[in-house]
């Protein structure tokens, strides 16, 4: 895919992985539609990206409220008139078990981590032309390939993203639209850090951004439908 002057919509763009992807794509001269819950942080990221000479628009929005997604896409259409790349990165973490859990938190995790992905993708596909190169990138988690005690809802949402991504690939592959699902291990972000983890040995947000960049530049004859990224060295202290 030739990246210059394309338009990418990135969710969860106000910090962490989303911010890193935004800056990387801006450096490739991709125009950006940035979505996130924190307007002030979005503005900061937008200002950083604009320095690369690209157009940037921000859309403060909690995607867990899926009813607002159609109007979001209408705004992107009005602002850019096209879309080539969708990065579904927004997410949240919720733990607990069937005996002790906050079901409101579980429902919110389901809404943001999974329902928002397919609602937004469904709407975004209306802007991604099959006459152009397109790509949909879903950021899952290594928890989308393994389970653990207390991870019932988080793992369920990430497994769901994996299944959805693989089905989506089959549905759009003949329309020149690539689809991948990325499964990072421990990433050095606000959500990923822990007292028992060495941040210097964790995956860095820029590592994910470089992976996205590489995926977009893969020739149209091939598509990495799943990409697993693990820390090279164990991050446990």
Q: How far apart are CA 129 and CA 108, in angstroms?
A: 32
Asked if 180 and 138 touch (Cβ cutoff 8 Å), the reply is yes
**CA–CA distances in Å: residue 82 to residues 39, 69, 104:** 23, 16, 36
Active-site residue set: 154
- Concatenate the DSSP letters of all residues of 131-200 into one string: TS-EEEEEE--GGGT---TTBHHHHHHHHHHHHHHHHHHHHHGGGTEEEEEEEE-SBSSTTT--TTB-GG
Q: Are 69 and 120 in contact (CB under 8 A)?
A: yes
- Per the structure block, which two tokens stand in for 78? 């009005």
Q: How far apart are CA 220 and CA 222, in angstroms?
A: 5
Q: What span, in angstroms and rounded, lies between the C-alpha atoms of 163 and 138?
A: 11
Residue 138: phi and psi, rounded to 5, are -105, 120
């Amino acid at each position: 895919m030739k990246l210059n002057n394309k338009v990418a919509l990135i969710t969860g763009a106000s910090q962490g992985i989303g911010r890193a992807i935004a800056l990387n794509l801006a450096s490739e001269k991709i125009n950006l539609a940035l979505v996130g819950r924190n307007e002030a942080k979005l503005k900061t990221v937008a200002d950083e990206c604009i320095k690369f000479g690209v157009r940037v628009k921000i859309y403060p929005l909690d995607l867990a409220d899926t009813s607002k997604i159609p109007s979001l896409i209408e705004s992107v259409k009005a602002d850019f008139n096209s879309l080539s790349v969708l990065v579904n990165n927004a997410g949240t973490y919720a733990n607990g078990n069937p005996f002790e859990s906050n079901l409101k938190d579980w429902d919110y995790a389901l809404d943001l981590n999974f329902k928002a992905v397919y609602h937004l993708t469904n709407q975004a596909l209306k802007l991604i032309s099959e006459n152009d190169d397109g790509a949909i990138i879903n950021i899952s988690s290594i928890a989308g390939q393994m389970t653990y005690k207390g991870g019932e809802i988080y793992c369920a949402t990430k497994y769901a993203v994996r299944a959805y991504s693989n089905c989506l690939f089959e549905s759009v592959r003949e329309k020149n639209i690539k689809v991948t699902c990325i499964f990072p291990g421990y990433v050095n972000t606000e959500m990923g850090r822990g007292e028992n983890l060495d941040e210097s040995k964790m995956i860095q947000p820029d590592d994910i951004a470089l992976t996205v960049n590489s995926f977009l530049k893969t020739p149209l004859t091939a598509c990495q439908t799943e990409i697993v990224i693990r820390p090279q060295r164990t991050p446990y202290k």
